[in-house]
Amino acid sequence: MSMSLKVRRLAICLAFVCLPTYAQDPLTLVSWGGTTQAAQQSTWADGFTQETGIPVRQAGPTDYEAFRAMVQSGDVQWDVVDVEADFALKAGREGLLEPLDLKQVGQRNIDPRFVTIYGVGSFYFSFVLGYNSSQLTSAPEGWTALFDTQKYPGKRALYKWPSPGVLEMALLADGVAPERLYPLDVDRAFRKLDTLKPHILWWGSGDESQQLLSSGQASLGMFWNGRVHALQQSGSPVAINWQQNLVSGDFLVIPRGSKNAAAAKQFLGYVTAPQPQADFAIQTGYAPVNLKSAALIPANLASNLPSANTDSQITLNFKFWSKQGDAIAKRWYAWQAE
């Protein structure tokens, strides 16, 4: 190990209470695949292994039923799992998660929206109105444009799973004020979505969403900002309207019964530090949860992050969804099947 690495390792150890570097079992990180997990490998896992000597094994995709089954059976094969914010809150209440050492994850420097005793933010993103500029003669503005099929012809791409975002978008498009979104008027949201249903193309993964938009199969839709950003970087004729962008986030959690819980907590401390968070944001277009990371991101890149587009930004209510999500999901699937 070089002297510079020794110095860096000492700093990490002082901050995060390092484990010895001998004969460590691999730490299993479970995430969603695609470009996001590739970035987690290159900006987090590789650096963590270099600093600590602890190997990180990638697995996935995240599967909530498999998560529950592992914990309930006591045969936990995963150590750190990237989950949606509402699941993190719900799983914590259900006793499925290991509690964290909040000092170890640098709680004081983490955006308070993205840290609890059972999980810490992986990154945060916005659902944005994305559109294919080669398919439209004028740029759409705001969620109402998504429902105006006369002015903005073409199919609409929407997230197929029952999670925070689509119902809120429909209510905003129907004129509900942001401060009156919660508790959600579910009946009203579905009535609004009924008017769009014949025009919807559903996407279930980031890759699918990119294909629909870049190909022009959908002229506009609701997307994760980082996926549209990646298309822009590749030269696709796509753009973002940030009006009333809807903030959600992923959390990193440790399943109760993890065989490497101590190393997993150390990993969370490492990846939520300012530089790893900044590195991930630079590579993906998603925002860092560490409040000190912004200063480490070039200005031209920072301007395209959710953290720089806050004028009409709305943070989704994860607590509401963690309690009402199951009931909403039943209605969601029934509505899709109609």
Contact 111, 289 (CB under 8 A): yes
Q: Mark whether 78 and 149 lie in a shared domain.
A: no
Q: Are 228 and 306 in contact (CB under 8 A)?
A: no
Tell me the C-alpha distance between 83 and 264, whole Å: 15
12-21, 92-101, 325-334, range with the lowest pLDDT: 12-21
Contact yes or no for 161/328 (Cβ under 8 A): no
Whether residue 207 is found in the same domain as residue 262: no
Do 184 and 284 belong to one domain? Answer: no
Mark whether 329 and 182 lie in a shared domain: yes
Q: What is the pLDDT of residues 280-315, one digit of tens each?
A: 999 999 999 999 999 999 999 999 999 999 999 999
Q: What pLDDT score was predicted for residue 104?
A: 86
pLDDT at 7: 42
Express each pLDDT in 115-142 by its tens digit: 999 999 999 999 999 999 999 999 999 9
Domain hosting 141: range is 125-248+309-337
What are 162's two structure tokens?
Answer: 């029952």
Give the mean pLDDT of 142-158. Answer: 98
Q: Residue 96 corresponds to which amino acid?
A: L
pLDDT of residue 206: 87
Each residue of 85-126: pLDDT tens digit? 999 999 999 999 999 988 888 888 999 999 999 999 999 999
Report the percentage of the chain scoring pLDDT > 90. 86
What number of other Cβ atoms are within 10 A of residue 334's Cβ?
A: 9
Mean pLDDT for all residues in the chain: 92
> Are residues 257 and 216 part of one domain?
no
Is the pLDDT confidence value at 52 over 50? yes
Same domain for 273 and 236: no
CB 164 within 8 A of CB 317: yes
Separation in Å, CA 230 to CA 126, 143, 194, 209, 224? 14, 22, 31, 12, 10
CB atoms within 10 A of CB 257: 17
Lookup result for tokens 């699941």: 87
Together in a domain, 205 and 332: yes
Band of pLDDT at residue 9, cut at 50, 70 and 90: very low
Quote the pLDDT of residue 223: 97
Q: Are residues 301 and 328 in the same domain?
A: no
> Do 168 and 254 reside in the same domain of the chain?
no
The answer to whether the CB of 174 falls within 8 A of the CB of 192 is yes
Rg (CA), the chain: 20
Nearest to 29, CA basis, from 38, 17, 16: 38
Total residues belonging to the chain: 338
Measured CA to CA, the distance from residue 186 to residue 325 in angstroms comes to: 11
Helix (H, G, I), strand (E, B) or coil at 245: strand
Question: 323: buried, middle or exposed (CB in 10 Å: 19+, 13-18, 0-12)?
Answer: middle
Inter-residue contact 281 to 300 (CB < 8 Å):
no
Q: pTM here?
A: 0.87
14 and 114 assigned to the same domain: yes
Q: Are residues 46 and 110 in the same domain?
A: yes
Mean pLDDT, residues 182-189: 98
> CATH code at 106?
3.40.190.10
Q: Please give the tally of structural domains in the chain.
A: 2
Residues 21 and 69 reside in one and the same domain = yes
